[in-house]
Structures are given as structure tokens and as C-alpha cells.
Amino acid sequence: MIKELRREILQASFDAGACHIGSALSCLPIMYGLFYEVLKDDVFIFSKASGVATYYAILADKGYFPKDKLAYYLKNYPLASKEVPGVLHSVGSLGHGLPVAVGLAYANPNKRVFVLISDGEVEEGTTYESALFAHQHNLKNLYVYVDNNGIQACGKTNDILNLDLALNFFQKMFPNCYNIHTTKGDGVSFMENTVEWHYKNIDEELLKQALEENGF
Amino acid sequence: MDFRRQFFNQMCELAEKDKDVILLTGDLGYSFCEEYAHKFPKQFINCGCIEQSMVGIAAGMVLGGKKPYVYSGTIFLLMRAYEQVRDDVAYNNLNVKLIGTGASQFLGFTHNLQGNENEQDLLKNLPNIKSFYPQNEEDLRLALLSFGPAFIRI
């Protein structure tokens, strides 16, 4: 099942000429766990805008729109947009989805609110601000997941800004905060743990290789 | 009467009538907000000095069914939190009311002696969000009761 989603993400990224494939694949295990095992009548905010191919692929699989529209949405709305069926709030710049999730959780104390952020977003000031607010108001219904793949746009995260201490702090401040160690480009050998696949578009030959590795 | 006093008086009326109304302040309003805060503790949050997140939080509250009014200095709402105003409020077209005190040179923080800054310029290219510059009590009432995202300078 997760391999089938990976296939759809790779194929749609090729069809749409989309980048950020490594970011999309790193959050796939978290997104899979959330959407197929955890989320019920809950609210979800996808803050990690660059991994949007995974979010759209799962929304299509959940029936929000036909799978043959996946590449169309990815091409026309390359950051999570509420023009796409199933998306609650449009995001783009880093650090926007978390405060919105905080507001949702405050407004609906009886509803669980889940939010996925990237390790790059942990560097943004709004993460610190949101942590202060969530702690002060004890937002137990807020669930923050950090896709910690250790690589940001121009290099290894901990070489640019070491986040180990900050993540410990945020896990204490948010009532529920999960620092999930993931792999950039997860499931495709030549993409794994590389900076370049934050950006690169996949060509036909590499697509074939990536799909073969996954049994297609 | 000081417009700030009128604002908090009118907010008392709104909060009384509609339990979804919620007032967020960025640690401003000393000597003006106390009556409201005392009467409607469940409809009041002093968010502290987290202006960027406060605007995002207000947008999330709209998605959660609330009617947030965000009170702060104009420079903090429109300059420090400009991207949140643009992305989370205007682009997402969410019914957040931003109430800014003073003009963009409030407190002299810009150190701009030329006096050529104007918050209307910051808002004119954004979609969905309306701007109000109320001149009297009735103007203010209409602005607060308008539908959709708005910036209201008092």
C-alpha cells in the first residue's frame, strides 16, 4: 500500500514536472500512519508545504478527487492549496500551518487537531510562539508531528542550525509533540539522504529506475 | 471619547450577543481592556507578544467556528505579521478582524521622520480584505459588524 502511494507520488511528480520529491517521500511514512491508522473524525493541517505530493496522493486515495487529477493539482497548486478538495487551509511559506492548527485546537477543545511540520519549520519564530501559546493554554487536543529528515534546502539541518535542543524544548512545551526521524527521499535509493532531491525534477529514466526498485 | 474606549465598549456588546466572538490582544490595551476581560473571560485572550502567530491563530479560530477580533498596534499587525495577514487571512479569505491602533509610525518605531509610510499601501493589493478608517462611533460599529476579513484602524 505504501509502495503504491510512493508510485503515485513519483508518477505524478514526473507528469507535473514537480520538485520537492525528497521532501514528499520523507513524510510518507508519517502521513500513511496518520491517514490510515490514526485520523478519524479529526482535523488535519498540512504545514510542510513542500511535501504536498504526498498529501494530494493520500487525499486522492481517500476519494476526495479522482486519481487521474493528481498530476493536474500538483502542477497547478504546487503548495498545499484549499483549491484542492480535502485541503482545509492553504499554506506556502514555512511556519504558517502550526499557528492555524493552534487556533483550531483552541476553538474546538473537544476535537483533535493534527499538524505536520518540517524540521526546517522548527527554525521559524512562529514555532516558538505557538509553543508558548499551546503550553500556556494546555492544548491537549493538539498533536504536532515533526518530519525530521535532517536535510533542509541547502544542506544538513544540524550543520545550518542544530535543532536537537530546540526539539527537546518543543516536546516539553507542546502537550503532544512527536519528533519523527525520517529519511529524505525515503524508498528511492538514489534520492535517500541527498540535498539535491529537495529540488530536482525526475526524468523518464530515473522514474523507471525508482519504480523498479519499488517493484513496479 | 477615545476610540479605544469606544472599541472595547462595542466589543462588550458584540461578545454579549454572540458567544463565538473572541477578542485576542497582543499584550496591548492596558487601562482599556480590563472591563471586557473581566466580563467575558472565556472570550478574551491576551496572547502575549506573539503577533505573527496571533494572526495565524485567529485564522485557525475562524476555521474552528469562532469570530476573532485581533487588537494590537498597526505596525505589529501589518508589518511584523504581514505575511500572516496576506496568506492566512487575505488569501484564505477568513473572517478575521484586525484592529490596529495608531498609524504606521505609532510609537516612533520606524524612526522615519519623513512621514511617508501609509498602511493603506500595504493592504491595497491584497485580495478579500477590506480596510476601514472609522471616523465616528457608527462607522466603527459597521466596520466591526462587516463580513469577511478586515483591517480596522482606530
Q: How far apart are CA A196 and CA A184, in angstroms?
A: 10
CA A22 from centroid of its chain's CA atoms: 11
What's the whole-number average pLDDT of chain B?
A: 91
| Cross-strand partners of A113 | A43, A142
Task: Among B48, B61, B91, select the one facing A103 at the smallest CB separation.
Answer: B61
Domain B4-153 matching CATH 3.40.50.300: the answer reads no
**SS3 label, residue A91:** coil
Rounded-to-integer distance, Cα B20 and Cα B22, Å: 6
* Residue-level pLDDT at A203: 97
Can you give the pLDDT at residue B111?
53
Give the mutation candidate from A77, A89, A110, A113 for the B interface (greatest B CB count, under 10 A): A89
Question: What's the confidence (pLDDT) of residue B105?
Answer: 53
Assess B26–A contact: CB distance below 8 Å, yes or no: no
Taking CB atoms and an 8 Å cutoff, what residues of chain B touch A89? 59-60, 63, 88, 92
Contact A100 B87 (CB under 8 A): no
Interface test with A, best of B27, B52, B53, B76 (most A CBs within 10 A): B53
**DSSP-derived secondary structure letter, B31:** T
CA distance A157 to chain B (A): 23
Ordered by where they begin, the domains of chain A are 2-213 (3.40.50.970)
pLDDT, one tens digit per residue, over A69-127 is 999 999 999 999 999 999 999 998 999 999 999 999 999 999 999 999 999 999 999 99
pLDDT, averaged per 10 consecutive residues of chain B (154 residues), comes to 90 98 95 95 98 98 98 91 98 97 59 61 92 94 97 93
**B43-72 residues touching A, CB cutoff 8 A:** 45, 47-48, 50, 52-66, 68
A121-149 pLDDT, tens digit per residue, is: 999 999 999 999 999 999 999 999 999 99
Please report residues of A whose CB lies closer than 8 A to that of B91: 90
Question: pLDDT category, A32, cuts 50, 70, 90?
Answer: very high
Number of Cβ atoms within 10 Å of the Cβ of B146: 14
Burial class (CB in 10 A: 0-12, 13-18, 19+), B113: exposed
Listed by start position, the domains of chain B span 4-153
Instruction: Provide the pLDDT for residue B115.
Output: 53
